[in-house]
Amino acid sequence: MTVEAVYPDPTLFGHDPWWLVLGKAVAIFVFLVLTPLLTILAERKIMAWMQMRVGPNRVGPRGMLQSLADGIKLALKEGIVPKGVDKPIYLLAPIIAAVPAFMAFAVIPFGPEVSIFGHRTALQLTDLPVAVLYVLAATSIGVYGIVLAGWASGSTYPLLGGLRSTAQVISYEIAMALSFAAVFLHAGTMSTSGIVAAQERTWYVFLLLPSFLIYAVSMVGETNRAPFDLPEAEGELVGGFHTEYSSLSFAMFMLAEYVNMVTVSALATTLFFGGWRAPFPLDLWAGANSGWWPVLWFTLKVWVFLFVFVWLRATLPRLRYDQFMGLGWKILIPFSLAWVMIVATVRAFRNEGYEVSSIALVVAGLIVALVALTLLWKRLHPSRTRVPKEPVEPKVRSEISPETLEPFDPMSGGFPVPPMPGQTLPTFHRTPVSVTNTAGRHSIGSTQEDSDA
């Protein structure tokens, strides 16, 4: 006897009793607060293991309470507000960054319909006919917190970090939205529960492989994680947009980053990996996709993506900014457009009654993915063949007339700068300085006229 999964009807959302809605909201909030604590600890442990070093091992058994100790330490630190900041916006920016990350999880399905105290309800807070667009809009608002934090800090490095984040979101949000469009076209719905139901036979990671690859790159860039952590590049911008933040304000930015990681991982699970459905061969079990078991499968899939985030940070160096923006505008967006046209063509044939095999879509996806990966490889690993240059005879300084030398001020920018070719340093004359010590005698460097005086 097989037990079929009961998919929730989007029209039934909004009819749960108030205590059930409140319970779901609290459960999601607790899940999103506890997962970052575990993720930070797991990240430090996994990175230490990958880089052959010792990770946290002091607080608690084998360092298991390190994340809790870090949170308490941040809470007890003094909240310093620098002078010259725009205080209302400065204090509001961390909240703007953190709240949308929690809001986006409202439409993520954790499982099918279950019975809670006699009430049949879906393991999902709510659903919308345009649920995925709601997630895209909610996550896009979070960047305003980063931009406003950089601008309100009144400092150069935070401002540069905020501007970088703006350019980053503009480029990668387009590619992410186009990867969503292919899913909408193939599933025929924008409802998250409907997309999970459409993957009952085949997950979209196989049917829409280019969309998944584009989304996988875009979600790393969207969350400002390595190797795309350019808005907070410590080697260039000290700490980026949160340089001037401390205590709980800084902790809220970190919470927003890790909650965003959970959100994009949950969205990838929902759109491409069957959502809460059990993977093969666990789906051969009759009750794998019913009851509360799907919550476990969903959580395991999310943690697989979180592990990939940690893996990327531990292994890959940070990209240059021109490489990062070129990847978004010259590779991801053009291939997203081409792939959306292919999926739309297949959908149009099916609407007209022509049956197009899924194998053709899989083959087309593999071709597009291989071409995109080839161009990406060539772009990140250009050929190093050097063209020999003709030797240029250097001019002797005596051959250069004083009229051709450009005037040069080495301290024009406030820092000593060496001269460029064709420039000459001005002549400096040392002025004798008279310094009188406590005994009334003159130090070395004073002139005879000064002594007589």
Closest CA to 178 of 321, 341, 43: 341
Q: How would you class 266 by CB atoms within 10 Å of its CB: exposed for 0-12, middle for 13-18, buried for 19 or more? A: buried
Residue 436: inside a domain: no
In whole angstroms, what is the distance from residue 176 CA to residue 212 CA? 10
> Which tens digit of pLDDT belongs to each residue from 352-387?
877 776 777 888 888 888 888 887 777 767 665 555
pLDDT band at 27 (very low <50, low <70, confident <90, very high): very high
The segment with the largest mean pLDDT, out of 108-112, 280-284, 286-290, is: 108-112
Inform me whether the pLDDT recorded for 257 exceeds 50.
yes
pLDDT band at 280 (very low <50, low <70, confident <90, very high): confident
Inform me whether the pLDDT recorded for 250 exceeds 80.
yes
Q: Determine the average pLDDT of the residues in 418-445.
A: 61
In whole angstroms, what is the distance from residue 49 CA to residue 43 CA? 10
Check residue 391 and give its pLDDT: 60
Nearest-5° Cα angle at 270, 265 to 275: 110
Q: Determine the average pLDDT of the residues in 142-166.
A: 83
- Count the alpha carbons within 13 Å of 44 in the hemisphere toward its beta carbon: 16
Residue 388: inside a domain: no
Check residue 390 and give its pLDDT: 62
Provide the domain count of the chain. 1
pLDDT band at 452 (very low <50, low <70, confident <90, very high): very low
Q: What is the DSSP letter of 436?
A: B
Dihedral sign from CA coordinates of 327, 331, 335, 337: positive
pLDDT band at 445 (very low <50, low <70, confident <90, very high): very low
Residue 376: inside a domain: yes
| Widest pairwise Cα distance in the chain | 116
Check residue 389 and give its pLDDT: 59
Check residue 2 and give its pLDDT: 43
Which residues, 6+ apart, have CB-to-CB distance to 47 below 8 Å?
55, 310, 313, 314
441: tokens are: 């005698």
Residue 53: inside a domain: yes
Domain that holds residue 339: 10-380
Backbone angles phi, psi at 121, to 5 degrees: -150, 155
> Which tens digit of pLDDT belongs to each residue from 179-226?
999 998 888 889 999 999 999 888 999 889 899 999 998 888 878 787
Check residue 150 and give its pLDDT: 85
> Which tens digit of pLDDT belongs to each residue from 93-108?
888 888 888 898 999 9
Q: What is the mean pLDDT of the chain?
A: 81
Residue 405: inside a domain: no
How do 119-122 and 113-116 pair as beta strands? Answer: antiparallel
Dihedral sign from CA coordinates of 93, 99, 104, 108: positive
In whole angstroms, what is the distance from residue 1 CA to residue 442 CA? 107
Residue 393: inside a domain: no
Q: What is the DSSP letter of 230?
A: G
pLDDT band at 442 (very low <50, low <70, confident <90, very high): very low
Check residue 443 and give its pLDDT: 46
Which residues, 6+ apart, have CB-to-CB distance to 359 below 8 Å?
none
Q: Which of 70-74, 227-231, 443-447 has the lowest mean pLDDT?
A: 443-447
Q: What is the DSSP string of 88-153?
A: HHHHHHHHHHHHHHHHGGGG---SSEEEETTEEEESSS---TTHHHHHHHHHHHHHHHHHHHHHHT
Q: pTM for the complete prediction?
A: 0.78
Asked if 231 contacts 164 with a C-beta cutoff of 8 angstroms, the reply is: yes
Which residues, 6+ apart, have CB-to-CB distance to 269 below 8 Å?
275, 298, 301, 302, 305
Residue 412: inside a domain: no
In whole angstroms, what is the distance from residue 197 CA to residue 190 CA? 12
The segment with the largest mean pLDDT, out of 5-14, 24-33, 141-150, 165-174, is: 24-33
Q: Please give the sequence-ordered ranges of beta strands (E in DSSP) within 148-230, or none if there are none.
A: none
Check residue 307 and give its pLDDT: 94
The share of the chain scoring above pLDDT 90, in percent, equals 17
Instruction: Please report, for residues 105, 191, 199, 205, the alpha-carbon distance to residue 273 in angstroms, rounded to integers and kept in the order given.
Output: 17, 15, 8, 6
